[in-house]
A and B are shown apart, each in its own frame.
Chain A
Amino acid sequence: MSRSKNLAVKYLVAAILFFGVMTLSGLMSAAYYIQPDFLFGLIPFSIAKMLHIDTMIIWLLMGFMGAVYWFLPDEFEIEPAGIWAAEILFWVFVSAVLVVAATFVLVQWGPSTETTLWLVQQGRKYVEAPRWAAIGVALVMLVFAWNVVGTALRARRITGIMAVMSVNMVPLVLLYLIAFPKIDNMAVDLYWWWWLVHLWVEATWEILIGCIMALAVMKLLGTSRKIVEGWLYVEVSMVLGTGILGLGHHYFWIGTPDYWLGIGGFFSALEPLPLLGMVVHAVYDAGVHRMKTTNRPAFYWTLAEAFGNFLGGGVFGFMITLPQLNLFAHGTQWTVSHGHFAFWGAYACGVLSVCYIAMQEQRRLAVVNGRGWVWAFVLLNGGLIGMVGSLLVAGMAQTFFERAIGGSTLEAFIAGQENPWFVLGMYSRMFFGLIFTAGYLTLAWNLLALGHREAAAVAQPAPAE
């Protein structure tokens, strides 16, 4: 295997390991809602929650990088430019994540000085990593961009997919710079912070996963490049056409002018369209190929990606995106329900699909199938949908009792959290969280055992087209 593919496997393995940390810290976060004294005085809720969402970002990012390093040599038929730097930075990246996680757990917070922001944490959701580590992530992103763009330049040719990916590297790197400044005015701080969070997650990441899934579909189903690239351009038009000003749905209540209510509401209501397009494309391709593939888990995770993105990001997002409802539902467990479903559907399923594609080629398996992946697929998706439903019930109760009736004060907040529907939602979320965890363990075992336990014919990897 090429150096790039070896690096890809390392990134995918690291992604799956951090997926486990995310799952464990998610269970911890859920436990505080049921048992408020859980680890009190040792690890506060905030730390478990930081670990949960930060490792989610990290494992998905590592999964994307693994996917790109996997497909790069196939696209250009040469080793990526600067692969040596990427190999070194992989270990730097993993070490930095481990040191940051240890700092979160052991140090937790510091005095109100810039030193705390440099060494302990920055206290900004999703980008809590202290600045020293954020510099490391920026460096990793820069080298990643160089690997993609530099390889295209060295190969003196470019495909449509790689052109989209290369251009996408520019905002991917630039937007991350918003992770650094400390802005006193919270309205301005949140304004730029949403550029990072929304335009990364609902624009650049969507494009990146779109490119990755385009490559995956060609590999899995042998779909023609012309069709895939045509769809990718349509996706880009619709994702950025709706998503850039769809940013406005985060500007309803942060102090920005009220024209954002109309702009944000209108464009984010259109945001499900590209996701619906993905579903249509997936169903069409699956039908044309009569569901025939040599890698069923990868194929099913691709389908889960299309449906999950549409339902979790599109439908569940649409439910709370109009300002008339968002005024009540914003910042409740309803948002959490949407967040879980959207990240799972939009990104996690895609990364898992690539894991199976890579494992098939790395272990030279003619066919990937069996019962293990089916159990993992059912437990993970069942657990996730159960958590999403539980959080939805809790969120609706909170929206009604805390916001619509209570007036959002401390007393109203407590009334909402003590409402029986809310409490039921929290217990139910924990139950489905345990099912999800069982799914994770089955997945990890299945990826590890693939080709070792199951009878599989040794064969050459399937052709790309």
Chain B
Amino acid sequence: MPIKILSVDDSRTIRLIVGRSLRPYDCVLWEAANGEEGLAVAVREKPDLILLDVTMPVMDGVTMLARLKEDPALKAIPVVMLTAESGRDNVITIARLGVCDYLIKPFKEEQLIDKVGRAVQLQKKEAAAPVAAPAPVVCF
């Protein structure tokens, strides 16, 4: 059963890097460009993990996280925050909101995989599977 991961970031570049990093692993990736879209996908797909940017238009990551935690059906989904802001207060604020972990931008792809692997059981695709086949990406 592939792991279901939702990447919420207004930067297509970051979503692309997330998809590229996860390509060798047995997972299905959904994408959303802001918190509002991300919440809709989360409700619909019940992902196993959410990778969530902080600063986004329409609805930021902190607001989306708060909404997730208010919803009994979604509050247990582990969330890893991706943020360009590494300040002490920001990290403390994020931690208090109940995230599973956080990753400071800039990051290396192996750091992302390490964080994801701590939150969910990532498994490499079987050797027999075509290596070039990308993980399915479903854009909201």
Please say whether chains A and B are actual partners in one complex. Answer: no
B residues apposed to A, CB below 8 Å: none
